[in-house]
Chains A and B, each alone.
Chain A
């Protein structure tokens, strides 16, 4: 991390601006500009979780401003070292406020982020879902890492990452025909009918596309503009919810 910060930020210039900060209003703007690469870098680490990168950059910028205002040059810490946790804190708070928990171990988070990116890049490139060997060859991950990452998608601890908060991820086009789709789902899956009604619209749509239209996870991801990993998590969680619901004794 420290190496990255050093590559991203002109530390000497930053110190100079902090020295001028009390009397020079333009220094604050200049500090924001100097540290913008750090903001971008940190925001991108939180990309691929259903939030647009531009929004994340906004959130990270707020974190940066807070850090600039609170920074004490006397303490002998480099600003970027001080600002990084503040910015990450702001990003985490953003996800938390959206109801998304951050409970995934960091190593798995990083694997997950890489996987998510490489899988969709390769899908675009190859026109089909890649194999594990191909994913490993196009990333810094080993085949075991890839499998572990896939495994983690389905772990309970991270399913909450994608807990739906609203219609997020729904494109306007995806609403078209939603009633017909629900109807077909209900017809086909009579045994779980009452529980289907309770599902969020996006989950219903994914079930429909996967099980009634026979679209692959990658095709669904493409259509809904979310990652394949996200589709995967939503599918397994929805099936689990339905199984639990059906398993409950009716009185």
Chain B
């Protein structure tokens, strides 16, 4: 079990850092090229959704945990104050974000991290390559 946590400023130009980190962790864990690309797109989408949240945010956090059987958990969150807000947004399951995340990941859900909005993505490694 290993755990990686990264925090970047809550600005669109920093999203690529989070994308690269998730790709690097997934590559190390022997995820396939396709799966790594799915994770990149999913992190992109999750961050876009967090940055679009109405309350101001200073930081975007990404927490990645991988266990021994190849279950990768990614939680993207921001420090925006979501305590009074409706989160997940009404009709969230009809949004582009939801459609994209649920197709790219094995599981996706809206969560809260402290008072902040969060998106939780799970991606499973396919049958372990024999290397």
Contact = CB atoms under 8 A, between A and B. Distances in A.
Chain B interface size band reads: 20 to 34
Contacts of B23: 147, 150-151
A139 interface: no
Interface string B104-127: 000000000000000000000011
B24 interface: yes
A132 interface: yes
Contacts of A228: 33-34
A247 B27 CA distance: 32
Interface in A210-240: 210-212, 214, 216-218, 228, 232, 235-236, 239-240
Given A134-B129, A134-B131, A129 B34 contact: yes
Given A147-B23, A214-B103, A247 B35 contact: no
A129 B35 contact: yes
Interface stretch (A49-57, A69-77, A172-180, A188-196): A188-196
Q: Is the interface of A mostly helix, strand, loop or mixed?
A: helix
A143 B100 contact: no
Interface of B: 16, 19-20, 23-24, 27, 30-38, 40-41, 44-45, 48, 52, 94-96, 99-100, 103, 126-127, 129, 131
